[in-house]
Structures are given as C-alpha cells and as structure tokens.
Amino acid sequence: MALLQISEPGQSPVPHQFKRAIGIDLGTTNSLVAAVANKGGADNGIAKVINDTEGRAILPSVVNYAASGAQYVGYEAQAIAADDPFNTLASFKRLMGRGLNDVSDTSQFQIVTPNDALTDTADKNDVIRIATAAGEVTATQASAEILKCLTARAADALGGAIEGAVITVPAYFDDAQRQATKDAATIAGLNVLRLINEPTAAAVAYGLDKADDRYIVVYDLGGGTFDVSILQLSEGVFEVLSTGGNSALGGDDFDLAIVQWALSQANISAEQLSAQEYRRLLIDARAAKESLTDNDSVTVSIQSSSVTWAGELTKVGFDALIDALVTATIAACKASLNDADLTAGEIADVVLVGGSTRVPLVREQVTALFQQAPKTDVDPDQVVALGAAIQANSLIGNSRDSDLLLLDVIPLSLGIETMGGLVEKIIHRNTSIPSTRAQEFTTYKDGQTALAVHVVQGERDLVSDCRSLARFELRGIPPMVAGAARIEVVFNVDADGILDVSAKETITGVSAHVQVKPSYGLEESEIAQMLKASYSHASEDRDARMLAEQRVEAEGLVDAVNMALAQDGHLLNDVERADIDAAIAAVLAIVGQSDTQAISDAVAALGRVTDTFATRRMDQSVRAALQGKNIEDVADGSL
C-alpha cells in the first residue's frame, strides 16, 4: 500500500524542515535583517537579528555609485560619503515613490548632488532620478542594493538561498511608496511574502500578541519617517484602529536643525561650503545629536576653505532646536487617539521604535502625553526587523501553531471622480486591509459607450483638492439612454496595501481594470494637511458639493430639453418656444456662477415652463401607441 505524505498548505511535507525566511527593516538611516532560529538549542524559535562578519547588526542605508555601478554599500559607502558626496546616496527612502513635484527642498534628503542631478524624464510627476557616475539612479534601485546586501548576509548565516521575506514599511506609506518598495525587492531577487507596517511588526516583536486584550500605541521615530499607530490586541488579532505620522520627519531633520544652527552661528550659508564640506558637517551633526543623549554639551565645528568655526551646543539648546519637530509628533499622536475614539488613559502600553526615540526630549514628551513610561526593553533599532522575522516565519509555514492575524489600515480615503468634479469615496481611511468595496455607477449622457474612471486619494469633496492616482477607460458599453447602464466599480486593497481597481458593465459583462501604480507618492505632510483641511473646510466642501451637484442637474436638464425640442418642437407655438428658449438661456447664464440657490431657481423655472410641453409629448406618445388598436386590445393588455 502506498503512503501519502500530507502537509498543511504552505508548509513543508518533511517534518521539521524549515524554510529560510527573513524579516527586513528597510530603514531611512539604517537597515537590518532578522530570522527565527531553527537549528535547535535554547534559541530555537526565537527571532534574532543577523549580524555581518564583523558582528554588526546594522547596515547603514548608504550606497556609493562608481562608473561601474554600485561599488560600495553600507559602512564602506558611509566611510567615503564625505570624500565622494556626488555619488554617495543616503536617506533615499524619502524619495521612494515620489516625483519632483513632491520635493520642495532636496536638502532634507541628505543627498549632495549637482544642481541638475535630480531629474525626471517625462514630467514633474515622473519618478525622480539621481545623477551619479554610474548614470541616473532611482531610490528604488538604491534600495534594491541594500536589500541585496542584507539578503546575502542572511543566506550566508542560514546556509542557503532565502525563500521568502517580509519587508516593513512606514504605516503612513501610500500606495505608490509601497509599490516602489515591492519593486526594489523584485530588483533584488526577493520573494516578498508580505509588506507589513513597521508599528505592527514592533508590537509582534514585543510579544504583545500573547498579552491580554488591550490598546497599545506604537510611536515610531526613525531617521527619516515618523509613524504612530494605535492597535487593539485581542486573542492574537492585531487590529490597527488608527494611524498617523509623517514620512518626511525623523532624525535626519534633527541633524539638519543642528546644521542650520551651526551655519547661523558661523554666519555663513550652506552655499559657501563645498559638497564635501557640507556632507562632513551633516555627519558631524548626527554624531553631535547622538552624543547629547548622554552628555550635557558637545562641540560642533566647521572646517572649510572660507571659515573655521567651533561652538558648543548644549542639551538645552538642542531641545530648543527640535522642539517644534517633536511637538509635531505629539500632535499626530493626539489626532490618532481622536480617530480611534480613545483617551491617553485607556492606553495600556506605549512602545518606542526607531533610533531617534533615544533622544531624551522625545521620551519626555511621550511619557508626559501617555502618563506612563514607554517600553524600551527591546532595542528600538532592532524591534521592527525582529517582528518582521516572526511574521515571515509564520507566513512561510514554519510556525505551525501560529494564530497571529494582522489587520492594518489604509491611511487616506480612496475614491473616484464623478460628474461635476466630485469625489465619491469607495474605501474610507482607517479601513482595515485587505479590503474590497464595490459601488454602482451609471452613464451621464444618452448613447454613452465609454466611461473614464479617475482614481483619487484624499478626504475632500472636490477632485481638485485630492491627489490623482490613476486613470483608465471602460469601453464597449452598449448605447442606452442616460442612467440605464449599470457599471460596477470595485476597489481591492490587498494585504500589502496595493490598490487594484476594476469596472464592469453588468449587462454585457465588458470590463477593465488597473493596478494603481503611480510613479510618485504623497508627501506625508500633504496627507496631514489633507486630513486637517477635511475638517476645517467641512462647511465649505458641503457648499461646493451642493453647487457642483446643482450644476450637473442644470446641465442635464438643458440637454434633455434641447433633445426634446429637436424631436418634438413642432408641438409648440412661437410664444411657447420663445419662453422655453429664454428659460434655457437663463439657466446657461447662471450655471457657471457660484450661486447655488440662483441655479436651483433657474432650473425650477425651466421645469415649470416646460410642463405643458412635457404633457403634449406624453399625449402624443399615448396616441401613437393606441393608433390602430381596439378597445379589446387595450383591455386584455396586448399593447
């Protein structure tokens, strides 16, 4: 008798055979890789960060490009950054999924380049390309070099090729930024099991899934991004209730604050420094920031061909420089609490993530807000990678007893443009993902055989106040009268936060779809502004929507009356026709203005003046239908 070897879906049929899966924290300043130990012993089943051959866990997210390509990655690239600034990229995570329109100040990215080095090939929304000795390089390509290096380190440590990876992203990364991250993994040859939000990974690493039901806050302040997420934990289910943050705020901005202070104290501008001198000042500023964690003061100096300066920066002075930045993170925490309908007193645990949370002022303000000491017993630099490794181990099929479920959310509402430049929201912000929502729409004009679908993201009522994500067309709609077609639009956001939109005409079955993959992403400060604007402009948006809807009604009525006149204008005498023409002219004269009530009155007037015409058309239709019929046909319903 033959024996069948049975295994669970996604798990190895060989008992105790582990697949090599890793978790990667792809950071702005530093990156790490971790895996769950599977070689037996006391560490078996425990997530550990994988060190390089010199025992270092962290890999600086820095890449140097020579004419032959990516020559140095990590510490080697960091070591020559000051000497070769034009070809050394750092903090490029802030450029992931963004176009030039999204970048107002390139100094925030700590990329020192010639003035024309940031380029795009099509328009201001195309992906940013950075000029180097190896040619133009995108942030996605540079990120792929970091991923390659981490994957090679893991393969050496685990004894074979990596079969799957979970990569973490900031919770406030939008669709374009997430897609850019997946593209980087594809370039690096990685099989991505899942993208998960950094705060959720941190909660997993702390083992909070084993805790009693509770609410927790994850405050994640890294080198280039800030996230705050509020999670509800219940029987192994991580449900993100709300998320907020800014993917252009982090430790890099603390460094820049010190740089700007030093330049001001030395009474010079950044333009007076060479690229090498400016990069060296950035590196010294970061060292000064780290020194002030444990010391009361530090000396900062500038050595250039034009000036030699040295000054003392105290901890109190540093706190004053970064106070507005830290306060902005606290404001985001308060907004997220409000979104989750919770108070600070209802939070059971506060988890700190990211190297920038070591700054004393950050810990002081977080403690003051939540009235409790935050958790810091796991290295804030490593906690995200460890959580990603645990999730990767589960997704690859190694963890047979895992019932961990992660329910993340989308940061900003998704919808489509409707007539009048209005936004119809399909999936609202803070909706758990994966998520699928469908809604029916119809045609606006008689005989319409195509429908343009414009996908947008934002909280406002008008398309002009939101961000355009993608456009596509549904063609082949059978010609019908306006409003007869039934078009189902489906939004599907997968577990990675990537959006797919489809449209289908339900009568014929014709369909079209697009995976939303724009070449740029949202500035998180823009997201914050959008959310703020959605509240502060609520009344204004309501009035704007009413005006747009009234205009659509007016234009639709005028089109309908004109069509009726073309067909049955003979039913009117000259005076009646003149009255209707005058009413139409009145509507057209007022429809472009901003007086909703005046448009409504003009529409009502046109409706009244066409009542008699409508009655005559109806009578004519009835007579035509009865012509040649006898009373018996009418009585038995054979008409």
**587: Cβ contacts below 8 Å, ≥ 6 apart:** 554, 557, 558, 599, 602, 603, 606
% of the chain beyond a pLDDT of 70 = 80
Q: Is 209 a catalytic residue?
A: no
Q: Confirm whether 21-234+381-401 and 410-536 share one CATH topology.
A: no
pLDDT tier for residue 303 given thresholds of 50, 70 and 90:
confident
Mean pLDDT in the chain?
80
- Among 2.60.34.10, 2.60.120.10, 3.40.50.2300, 3.40.50.300, name the CATH number for the domain at 410-536: 2.60.34.10
pLDDT at 576 over 50: yes
- Whether the pLDDT of residue 7 is over 60: the answer is no
Is the domain defined by 539-626 classed in CATH 1.20.1270.10?
yes
198 among known catalytic residues: yes
Nearest residue to 317 (alpha-carbon basis) of 336, 297, 333, 337:
297
* Domain regions of the chain by residue span: 21-234+381-401, 410-536, 539-626
d(CA 626, CA 628): 6
| Residue of 518, 637, 529, 634 lying closest to 178 (CA atoms) | 518
**Is residue 532 over pLDDT 70?**
no
Active-site option among 19, 52, 93, 504: 93
* pLDDT (mean) for 106-128: 49
Active site residue 213: no
pLDDT digits (tens, 9 = 90+) for 23-64: 999 998 899 999 998 765 556 678 899 999 899 999 999 999
Between these two residues, 434 and 584, which has the higher pLDDT value? 584
Helix, strand, or coil (residue 418): strand
Per residue in 308-334, pLDDT tens?
899 999 999 999 999 999 999 999 999
d(CA 296, CA 299): 11
- pLDDT, position 366: 95
- Point out the catalytic residue in the list 183, 198, 255, 524: 198
547, β-bridge pairs: none
Banded pLDDT at 4 (limits 50, 70, 90):
very low
Residue 296's pLDDT is: 93
CATH class of the 21-234+381-401 domain in this structure: alpha beta
pLDDT of residue 10: 43
Q: What is the CA radius of gyration of the chain?
A: 31
Residue 127, CB half-sphere, CA atoms under 13 Å: how many?
A: 18
Which is catalytic among the residues 220, 227, 381, 579? 220
pLDDT, position 509: 78
Handedness of CA 439, 443, 463, 603 (dihedral sign): negative
Res 527: pLDDT: 41
Q: Which helix (H) or strand (E) holds 428?
A: none
Give me the phi and psi of 242, to 5 degrees please: -160, 160
Q: What is the pLDDT of residues 419-458, one digit of tens each?
A: 778 888 888 777 777 778 888 877 777 878 887 788 887 7
**What pLDDT, on a 0 to 100 scale, did the predictor assign at position 384?**
92
Q: Is 220 a catalytic residue?
A: yes
C-alpha dist (Å) from residue 349 to 106, 378, 442: 37, 14, 49
- Say if CB 224 and CB 251 are below 8 A apart: yes
Does 496 have pLDDT greater than 80?
no
**Amino acid occupying residue 123:** D
Beta bridge partners of 34: 23, 49
In the predicted structure, residue 355 carries a pLDDT above the cut 90: no
Strand (E) or helix (H) holding 409: strand 405-409
What type of residue is 335? Answer: A
Residue 621 pLDDT greater than 60, yes or no? yes
Q: What is the mean pLDDT of residues 160-188?
A: 87
Reading the block at residue 135, the tokens are 């040619």
How much is the pLDDT for 110? Answer: 46
Which range, of 1-5, 163-167, 417-421, 451-455, averages the lowest pLDDT?
1-5
Do the Cβ atoms of 486 and 508 come closer than 8 Å?
no
Q: How many CB atoms lie within 10 A of CB 431?
A: 15
